[in-house]
Amino acid sequence: MKYRKLGNSGLLVSELCLGTMMFGDPASEEESIRMVHHFLDAGGNFIDTADVYGNAETIVGKAIQGRRSEVILATKAGLSTGSSPNDRGNSRKHILDSVDASLKRLNTDYIDLYQLHVWDQLTPIEETLRTLDDLVASGKVRYIGCSNYLAWQLMKSLAYSDAKNYIRFISIQQQYSLVNREMDREHISLCLDENVGIIAWGPLGGGLLTGKYSSLDKPDFGRFSLELNGEFAINNKFTPRNFKIVEAVNDIARQTEKLPSQVALNWLLGKEGITSPIVGASSLSQLEQNMGAVGWALTKEQWEHLDHVSRLPDEYPTRMQERFSRTSNS
């Protein structure tokens, strides 16, 4: 396992991040702990969880006992954790309550990377960032990140931190895969310019890139649903464009004698700006398959083919800026 610097920090994280959303359900506690130990034994050090992932934080806390110093432990807060109106959001009250609850469940006295799960429309960014800065000063949190932010929300947060000399977000956790490249519009260039690391969730498109699906016939919905909206809605994922991408992934999997999931993850590992894709698993065997994405590389031609077939349509104002922008070579 190789290691990469996370954003504008000296923190080194493994090129794959172990996601824990399936810990406890459907993966049993025992199987989840085995997965953590296997990941650490293979050189992984980056584990991501959240306070809303059932009892995942408690399981992670048990799994890393005696090995805490090896782990870069990331968790998230901001989504609803109760029925009270203050049991959600990025207010000072909810963040402070949430971090103490997470520390207790994780059975640790510090969190390496504390992330805001979503943007909060109600809480002023000044209140949120001051609270996060206080948490770092207290030693309960060492670095901060955000998740599921629009580009302007990330930039506003970074600018306010700079203006007040507060701790800065070093990372953003966003959905990104061959079938979800919306970040290409603004986030990727912003993160490269501001040196913010990108932790990619959903790197296999909710399972679409695992080889399980090969046509629009939808024989097995799996994680997908018939709802009209949502990240795993059938109408968002089962599209002719996405199945052209699936076909390309499957073709290269045959060429390389790798699994489609390994090909899709390997493409991400070669994408500029992506620090670590998050690999979740419901079993040790599934985790081992996903970890087979490292230690090899697609050829330049294979990588570029996948990049081309999955690229977003040419859009304004990007195409106009590219046409008229000045460069050192112009």
The pLDDT, as a whole number, for residue 321 is 87
C-alpha distances (whole Å) from 127 to each of 120, 124, 145 are 11, 5, 16
Weakest mean pLDDT among 10-19, 209-218, 319-328: 209-218
Q: What is the CA radius of gyration of the chain?
A: 20
The pLDDT, as a whole number, for residue 330 is 57
Structure tokens at 80: 């609803």
Type of residue at 13 = V
Q: Where are the alpha helices (H) located in 197-297, listed in sequence order?
A: 234-237, 240-256, 260-269, 284-291
Q: Beta-carbon neighbour count of residue 101 at 10 Å? A: 14
Please tell me the distance from the alpha carbon of residue 236 to that of residue 224, in angstroms, as a whole number. Answer: 9
Please tell me the distance from the alpha carbon of residue 103 to that of residue 231, in angstroms, as a whole number. Answer: 29
**Which residue, 32, 115, 119, is CA-closest to 73?**
115
**Of 211 and 183, the one with more pLDDT:** 183
The mean predicted confidence, pLDDT, of the chain is 94
- Cβ pair 191, 173 in contact under 8 A: no
Weakest mean pLDDT among 12-21, 88-97, 110-119, 229-238: 229-238
Weakest mean pLDDT among 120-134, 169-183, 217-231, 239-253: 217-231
- Cβ pair 18, 48 in contact under 8 A: yes
The pLDDT of residue 325 is above 70: yes
The pLDDT, as a whole number, for residue 222 is 62
In the chain, what are the domain boundaries?
3-206+271-294
CATH topology of domain 3-206+271-294: TIM Barrel (3.20.20)
Residue labelled with tokens 């895969």: 177
C-alpha distances (whole Å) from 42 to each of 35, 38, 124, 147, 285 are 11, 6, 42, 27, 14
Structure tokens at 139: 């030693």
The pLDDT, as a whole number, for residue 213 is 80
The pLDDT of residue 13 is above 60: yes
Q: Is 114 a catalytic residue?
A: no
The pLDDT of residue 108 is above 90: yes
The pLDDT of residue 101 is above 60: yes
Query: Which DSSP helix (H) or strand (E) runs through 175?
Result: strand 169-175
- Strand-pairing partners, residue 77, are 116
The pLDDT of residue 272 is above 90: yes
- State phi, psi for 57 to the nearest 5 degrees: -60, -40
The pLDDT, as a whole number, for residue 216 is 65
Structure tokens at 75: 């968790």
C-alpha distances (whole Å) from 225 to each of 23, 148, 240, 244, 282 are 21, 21, 18, 21, 19
Q: Beta-carbon neighbour count of residue 317 at 10 Å? A: 7
CA-CA-CA-CA dihedral for 114, 3, 27, 140, to nearest 10: -20
Please tell me the distance from the alpha carbon of residue 281 to that of residue 328, in angstroms, as a whole number. Answer: 45
**Which residue, 87, 16, 80, is CA-closest to 48?**
16
Type of residue at 39 = F
For Cα atoms 264, 266, 269, give the angle at the middle one, nearest 5 degrees: 120
- Helix axes 29-41 and 56-63, enclosed angle (nearest 10): 50
pTM: 0.94
Q: Cα dihedral sign for 225, 229, 235, 239?
A: negative
Of these residues, 3, 53, 110, 160, which one is catalytic?
53
For Cα atoms 78, 111, 77, give the angle at the middle one, nearest 5 degrees: 5
Please state the rounded mean pLDDT for residues 131-140.
Answer: 98
The pLDDT, as a whole number, for residue 326 is 79
